[in-house]
């Protein structure tokens, strides 16, 4: 059995385009058009649509494929929330590139980008409520969406605490992974989708058993690619996180395994805004030499195995099992 992700992705893109076109056509003042057009371009071009895809396949864990327009609209609303999160995250991280393009605060201004992020947040709520989902199921979905939003923001708060110089705080780095990715990116979208289909507590528990280890593995992979990945593949700089001094699980592990000379060098290089490619390459060598890279690769493999084992025991429809298995591999395998 294979899964036609292209058809689902096209369906998600179609309802997003329709929604955004309607918003552009109903602006209260034509002078807003250029600004709002930047937001629409940001949402439509680029991005994996991972959260909406997981929401859709969360629905398929329970529901037979059928009329799905309202489900696609509800799932696509998560992409608008994600746009809000990315735009504000880029401002806080002072990131220059996103999805291979200048970030919105670089292309426009910080104030413009903040407002566009706020608009994306408002629109995500509007799109969910206007999705056409059965009102009774929308009540259950609403509480899960609210939990997802709060957890994402909690994770961002913790992420800021884990930024700015070398810190040997593996617990903090791991907690950031749990909230910013495992719960926000995988668990809650699956929960929302299952709730759209009327899934009960057993289904939600099974979603969690799969989602948390797979979500952690996904973020660990992303952290590795943030340092070792090629910008042409990842769409972002492989030096930015190091300049920020972002203490990921990879960095915290290296600090815990390093000797005194290696720690001194990491302390000097991490969080240096003037760090160049030569300095970044030295950090990469240290991540290999300390054994941190191998340790994190092992963590990714173990978590993927745990998530896949939970998936095999889940009371999901076969089509959803196949899709979620493929997503697990696609999000955790090394691509660069």
**Can you give the pLDDT of all 336 residues of the chain as single tens digits?**
566 778 899 999 999 999 999 999 999 999 999 999 999 999 998 788 999 999 999 999 997 655 689 999 999 999 999 999 999 999 998 888 888 899 999 999 999 999 999 999 999 999 999 999 999 899 989 999 999 999 999 999 988 887 765 556 888 889 999 998 999 999 999 999 999 999 999 999 999 999 999 999 999 999 999 899 877 666 667 788 788 888 899 999 999 999 999 999 998 999 888 899 999 999 999 999 999 999 999 999 999 999 999 999 999 999 999 999 999 999 998 765
Tokens of 76: 């696509």
Question: What are φ and ψ of residue 163, in 5° steps?
Answer: -125, 140
Instruction: Count Cα atoms within 13 angstroms, Cβ side, for 115.
Output: 9
CA distances to 34, 222, 249, 256 from 171, rounded to whole Å, are: 44, 18, 9, 12
Tokens of 319: 């089509």
Identify which of 127, 114, 133 has the alpha carbon closest to the alpha carbon of residue 17: 127
Measure the CA–CA gap between 46 and 325, rounded to whole angstroms.
Answer: 23
Q: What's the pLDDT at 20?
A: 96
The H or E element containing residue 44 is helix 33-44
Count of residues making up the chain:
336
Q: What's the pLDDT at 151?
A: 95
Q: Which residue has the tokens 């090629």?
A: 230
Q: What's the pLDDT at 107?
A: 94
DSSP symbol at 98 = E
Interhelix angle 170-177/201-228, rounded to 10 degrees, is: 120
Q: What's the pLDDT at 229?
A: 84
Q: What's the pLDDT at 50?
A: 96
Q: Long-range pairs for 39-45 at CB < 8 Å and ≥24 separation?
A: 39/83, 39/104, 39/116, 39/119, 39/120, 42/83, 42/87, 42/104, 42/116, 43/16, 43/79, 43/80, 43/83, 43/120, 44/13, 44/16, 44/17, 44/20, 45/99, 45/101
Contact of 310 with 210, CB cutoff 8 Å: yes
Q: What's the pLDDT at 167?
A: 58
Q: What's the pLDDT at 169?
A: 80
- Residue 121 contacts by C-beta under 8 Å, 6 or more apart in sequence? 80, 81, 84
Tokens of 332: 């955790």
Using DSSP, state whether 174 is helix, strand or coil.
helix
47: phi > 0 → left, psi -120 to 50 → alpha, else beta; which?
left
- Residue 109 contacts by C-beta under 8 Å, 6 or more apart in sequence? none
Q: What's the pLDDT at 159?
A: 87
Q: What's the pLDDT at 239?
A: 85
């Amino acid at each position: 059995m294979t899964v036609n992700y292209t058809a689902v992705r096209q369906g998600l893109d179609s309802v997003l385009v329709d929604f955004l076109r309607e918003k552009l056509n109903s602006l209260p003042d034509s002078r807003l058009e250029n600004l709002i057009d930047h937001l629409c371009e940001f949402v439509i071009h680029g991005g994996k649509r991972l959260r909406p895809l997981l929401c859709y396949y969360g629905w398929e864990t329970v529901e037979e494929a059928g009329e799905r327009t309202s489900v696609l609209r509800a799932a696509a609303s998560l992409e608008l929330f994600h746009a809000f999160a990315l735009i504000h995250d880029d401002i806080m991280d002072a990131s220059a590139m996103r999805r291979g393009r200048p970030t919105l605060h670089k292309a426009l201004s910080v104030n413009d980008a903040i407002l566009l992020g706020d608009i994306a947040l408002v629109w995500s709520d509007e799109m969910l409520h206007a999705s056409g989902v059965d009102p009774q199921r929308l009540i259950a979905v609403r509480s899960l969406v609210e939990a997802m939003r709060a957890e994402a923001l909690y994770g961002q708060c913790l992420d800021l605490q884990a930024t700015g110089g070398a810190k040997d705080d593996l617990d903090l780095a791991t907690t950031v992974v749990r909230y910013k990715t495992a719960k926000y990116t995988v668990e809650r979208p699956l929960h929302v989708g299952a709730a759209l289909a009327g899934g009960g507590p057993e289904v939600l528990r099974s979603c969690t058993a799969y989602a948390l280890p797979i979500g952690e593995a996904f973020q660990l992979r992303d952290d590795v690619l943030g340092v070792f990945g090629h910008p042409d593949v990842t769409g972002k700089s492989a030096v930015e996180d190091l300049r920020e001094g972002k203490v990921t699980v990879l960095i915290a592990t290296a600090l815990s395994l390093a000797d005194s000379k290696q720690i001194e060098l990491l302390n000097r290089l991490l969080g240096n805004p003037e760090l160049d490619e030569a300095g970044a390459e030295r950090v990469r060598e240290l991540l290999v030499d300390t054994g941190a890279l191998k340790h994190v690769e092992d963590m990714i493999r173990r978590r993927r195995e745990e998530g896949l084992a939970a998936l095999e025991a889940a009371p999901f429809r076969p089509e959803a099992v196949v899709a979620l298995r493929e997503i697990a591999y696609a999000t955790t395998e090394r691509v660069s």
